[in-house]
Structure 1
Amino acid sequence: MPIPSTEPTPVRSLAELNAQIRTLVDGGLGTLEARQEYERLLVEWGSAVHQGAAEAA
């Protein structure tokens, strides 16, 4: 029996998250807000990758 994940279910697809991350990085991470958004997107992206791997198993 699988153990339920405590990670939030991502609302956006990996493609959407990748596009947002690329756009943010292309615009630069010079501000605190940009770095915080980048970190938040990376966490959401990691959750989406983890969920995709779990669904494939």
Structure 2
Amino acid sequence: MEFNVTNCGLHVGNIEVLGVASASLFLIGDADTIQLSSAFDTPAESLIIGALVPFTPQG
């Protein structure tokens, strides 16, 4: 997949993160190259999908 974005005068005032996935990318700014990969070597029968854990900010 090729995804091109052109930002002119990017200004970030406030960011509120409500949750984070087990595999995620959070980026503000410029990046020449982003390469994401994933590997899953656990047998499917041992996969347990449970409730999501809420993200609670510290502070």
TM-score > 0.5 by shorter chain = no
TM range (shorter): under 0.3
TM-score, normalising length: structure 2: 0.21
Which structure is higher in RCO with an 8 Å CA cutoff and minimum separation 6?
A: 2
Higher percent of residues as helix: 1
- Greater C-alpha Rg: 2
